[in-house]
Structure 1
Amino acid sequence: MTATKKSRTRLVMGNWKMHGSLAANAELLTGLRLGQADPAVEIAVCAPFPYMAQVSVALAGSHISWGAQDVSAHAQGAYTGEVSAAMLADFGCRWVLVGHSERRSMHGESSQLVAEKAVAALAGGLAPVVCVGETLAEQEAGQTAQIIEQQLAPVLALGAQALAKIVVAYEPVWAIGTGRTATPEQAQQVHAGIRASLAHAGAQQTRILYGGSVKASNAASLFAMGDIDGALVGGASLVAQEFLRIAAA
Structure 2
Amino acid sequence: MPPLPTRPLIGISLKTYLDLPTTLSYTHGLLSLDPLAFNARTDLFLIPDHLTLHPCASILAPSHILLGAQDTHWEDHGPYTGCISPLVLSQLGVRIVEIGHAERRTQFGETDEIVSKKAAAVVRNGMVPLVCVGERRKESAASAAVGRAVEECKPQVMSVLKAIPEDAQVVFAYEPVWAIGADKPADKDHVVMVAREIKRMAVEGGRKGRVRVLYGGAAGPGTWEGVKEGVDGLFLGRFAHDIKNLKKVLEEVGGS
Structure 1 runs of 4+ off > 4 angstroms?
137-142
Show CA shifts across 1:179-200 (max 9, x none): 2311111100100110110111
- Could you tell me which residue of structure 2 aligns to residue 154 of structure 1? 159
Residue pairs, 1:190-209, within 5 angstroms: 190-203=194-207, 205-209=210-214
Following superposition, the deviation at residue 217 of structure 1 comes to 3.2
The worse-fitting range, judged by mean Cα deviation, of 198-207 and 123-132 is 198-207
TM-score by length of 2: 0.87
Higher relative contact order (CA 8 A, sep 6+): 1
Structure 1 residues 125 and 116: alpha-carbon distance in aligned structure 2, compared to 1, 3 A threshold: same
Residue pairs, 1:129-168, within 5 angstroms: 129-136=130-137, 142=145, 143-158=148-163, 161-162=166-167, 164-168=168-172
TM-score by length of 1: 0.90
Following superposition, the deviation at residue 49 of structure 1 comes to 0.5
Does 2:53 align with 1:52? Answer: yes
Is residue 174–residue 180 contact of structure 1 (8 Å, CA) maintained in 2? no
Following superposition, the deviation at residue 18 of structure 1 comes to 1.2
Residue pairs, 1:18-57, within 5 angstroms: 18-36=16-34, 37-38=37-38, 39-57=40-58
- Could you tell me which residue of structure 1 aligns to residue 250 of structure 2? 247
AA of the residue aligned to 1:165: Q
AA of the residue aligned to 2:107: M
Show CA shifts across 1:196-236 (max 9, x none): 1011123373110000001123233222xx22100111112
Following superposition, the deviation at residue 26 of structure 1 comes to 2.6
1:229 corresponds to which of 215, 232, 243: 232
List gaps (5 residues or longer) in structure 1: 1-6
Show CA shifts across 1:156-183 (max 9, x none): 2136625x41111100000101223111
Following superposition, the deviation at residue 8 of structure 1 comes to 4.1
Residue pairs, 1:173-188, within 5 angstroms: 173-188=177-192
RMSD: 1.9
AA of the residue aligned to 2:41: A
What is the SS of the residue equivalent to 2:106?
A: helix
Following superposition, the deviation at residue 106 of structure 1 comes to 0.7
Following superposition, the deviation at residue 58 of structure 1 comes to 1.1
Following superposition, the deviation at residue 90 of structure 1 comes to 2.1
AA of the residue aligned to 1:203: R
Is residue 120–residue 164 contact of structure 2 (8 Å, CA) maintained in 1? no
Does 2:173 align with 1:169? Answer: yes
AA of the residue aligned to 1:49: H
Show CA shifts across 1:65-93 (max 9, x none): 11100000111111111001111122111
Question: Within 2, Cα distance between the matches of 1:217 and 1:200?
Answer: 32
Question: Within 1, Cα distance between the matches of 2:223 and 2:171?
Answer: 22
Residue pairs, 1:66-145, within 5 angstroms: 66-136=67-137, 142=145, 143-145=148-150
AA of the residue aligned to 2:31: R
Is residue 171–residue 211 contact of structure 2 (8 Å, CA) maintained in 1? yes
What is the SS of the residue equivalent to 1:93?
A: coil
The worse-fitting range, judged by mean Cα deviation, of 33-42 and 116-125 is 33-42
Show CA shifts across 1:89-121 (max 9, x none): 221111100101110111111011101000001
List gaps (5 residues or longer) in structure 2: none
Following superposition, the deviation at residue 139 of structure 1 comes to 7.6
